[in-house]
């Protein structure tokens, strides 16, 4: 079969080999502890599920407006006002089938061949490929723990060329769990405005923050920045609604209208039932208590994990201020021998941890950071305890 160039331009997931190995161990009846989850281990809150059921009973089962129902757009507008101090009109909001779909649509309508898009690494796996699918060029800027895995204004300025169109920001971050302070955003904002860049701000983990860390949206810094920023958010992570597939973006009317045009010739509206449930998620009285419960549980697990990392020689981990991911650095193990093989990168370490410790992590190379593994704590405390015991003894057993 001859395939289109665009599908040949993107890579199959590098983590596929390791996850299929984990799967085959599980099928052999081996008890593998999975730390790979990219979604909350909680169920969608009851009031939200009920709103979905009601939508079906009320025959809310037809096409809706391509860019989302008025009811949901109004709930989103209210959310931006309440949580971010941002005011938008209905013609600035587009609801899509998940935040990933929002980003994909945006890339398709904004970028062309030759455009450069700055993506700080470690990054969420899908950004570079979605940029490539738009024929544009991802420009990866590496960051490390010294800046909390955040791009600095100097780094941003250095990466800018005549062709740069946009900066992709993800705060709080998947996979590092770090987040930008208002001051850090202000420093970046100066470079953004000076070079007339757009900012794509993925804020999907906004509500999952610890220790009173306050989330700021780039768009809320000034009216000028708001004009140049597209905010992406969604229901998946904060409301444990990954399967419902609702994401949205807020942008200037011309951008929103282009995204809506593309969506009108591709997927059309996201599911009517999921939209109705999302209205309840954003406006329901129970929602903030439900989120708080989830965040408290994640914080407890984060604290426990940080204690455990501190006690393992040759493994270090930046303390996440949000999300449900930790991103430990295993590079001290590089050069050591296991099973007659020298550990050289995150794929080797992931294989070692899977076969020796029977724990499944996601190799950092998937996020553009080969020294690391992503360990998701969207799993039970029992699993975390047992998994960390196993990791600790496997690392200890490795001859220096």
Strands 93-96 and 247-250: antiparallel
- Residue 217 DSSP label: -
Nearer to ligand PLP, 100 or 226 (CB): 100
Nearer to ligand PLP, 226 or 237 (CB): 237
Smallest gap from Cβ 127 to ligand PLP, in A, equals 8
Nearer to ligand PLP, 99 or 388 (CB): 99
Which residue bears the tokens 């996601």?
362
Give me the residues that bind ligand PLP (CB under 6 A), please: 38, 98-100, 124, 170, 174, 202, 204, 234, 236-237, 242, 247
Smallest gap from Cβ 377 to ligand PLP, in A, equals 14
Smallest gap from Cβ 213 to ligand PLP, in A, equals 17
Tell me how far apart the alpha carbons of residues 333 and 335 are, in angstroms, rounded to a whole number. 6
Smallest gap from Cβ 311 to ligand PLP, in A, equals 29
Tell me how far apart the alpha carbons of residues 380 and 305 are, in angstroms, rounded to a whole number. 12
Q: Where are the alpha helices (DSSP H) in 284-328?
A: 287-310
Nearer to ligand PLP, 200 or 391 (CB): 200
In this structure, which long-range contacts are made by residues 289-294, counting pairs with CB atoms below 8 Å and at least 24 apart in sequence? 290/45, 290/239, 291/207, 291/238, 291/239, 294/40, 294/42, 294/208, 294/240
Nearer to ligand PLP, 175 or 387 (CB): 175
- Residue 366 DSSP label: G
Contacts of 42 (CB under 8 A, 6+ apart): 240, 294, 297
Smallest gap from Cβ 38 to ligand PLP, in A, equals 6
Nearer to ligand PLP, 315 or 361 (CB): 361
Contacts of 306 (CB under 8 A, 6+ apart): 317, 319, 326
State the first-to-last Cα distance of the chain, in angstroms, to the nearest integer.
Answer: 49
Smallest gap from Cβ 200 to ligand PLP, in A, equals 11
């Amino acid at each position: 079969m001859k395939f289109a160039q665009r599908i040949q331009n993107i890579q199959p997931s590098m983590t596929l080999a390791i996850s299929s190995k984990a799967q085959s161990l599980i099928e052999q009846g081996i008890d593998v502890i999975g730390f790979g989850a990219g979604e909350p281990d909680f169920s969608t809150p009851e009031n939200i599920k009920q709103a979905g059921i009601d939508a079906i009973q009320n025959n809310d089962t037809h096409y809706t407006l391509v860019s989302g129902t008025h009811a949901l757009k109004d709930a989103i507008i209210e959310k931006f006002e309440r949580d971010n101090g941002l005011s938008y009109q209905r013609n600035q909001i587009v609801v899509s089938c998940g935040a990933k779909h929002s980003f994909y649509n945006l890339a398709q309508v904004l970028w062309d061949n030759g455009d450069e898009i700055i993506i700080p690494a470690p990054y969420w796996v899908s950004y570079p490929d979605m940029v490539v699918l738009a024929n544009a060029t991802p420009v990866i800027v590496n960051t490390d723990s010294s800046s909390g895995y955040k791009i600095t204004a100097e780094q941003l300025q250095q990466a800018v060329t005549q062709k740069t169109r946009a900066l992709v920001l993800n705060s709080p971050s998947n996979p590092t769990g770090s987040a930008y302070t208002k001051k850090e955003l202000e420093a970046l904002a100066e470079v953004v405005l000076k070079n007339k860049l757009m900012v794509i701000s993925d804020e999907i983990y906004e509500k999952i923050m610890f220790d009173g860390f306050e989330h700021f949206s780039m768009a809320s810094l000034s009216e000028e920045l708001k004009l140049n920023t597209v905010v992406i958010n969604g229901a998946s992570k904060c409301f444990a609604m990954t399967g419902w597939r609702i994401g949205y973006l807020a942008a200037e009317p011309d951008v929103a209208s282009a995204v809506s045009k593309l969506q009108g010739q591709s997927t059309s509206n996201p599911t009517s039932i999921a939209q109705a449930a999302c209205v309840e998620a954003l406006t329901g009285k129970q929602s903030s208590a439900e989120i708080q419960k989830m965040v408290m549980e994640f914080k407890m697990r984060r604290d426990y994990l940080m204690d455990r990392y501190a006690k393992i020689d040759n493994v270090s981990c930046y303390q996440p201020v949000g999300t449900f991911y930790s991103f430990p650095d295993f590079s001290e193990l590089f050069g050591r021998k296991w099973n007659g093989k020298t550990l050289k990168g995150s794929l080797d370490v992931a294989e070692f941890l899977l076969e020796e410790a029977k724990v499944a992590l996601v190799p950092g190379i998937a996020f553009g950071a080969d020294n690391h593994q992503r360990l998701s704590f969207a799993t039970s405390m029992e699993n975390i305890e047992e998994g960390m015991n196993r990791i600790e003894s496997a690392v200890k057993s490795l001859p220096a």
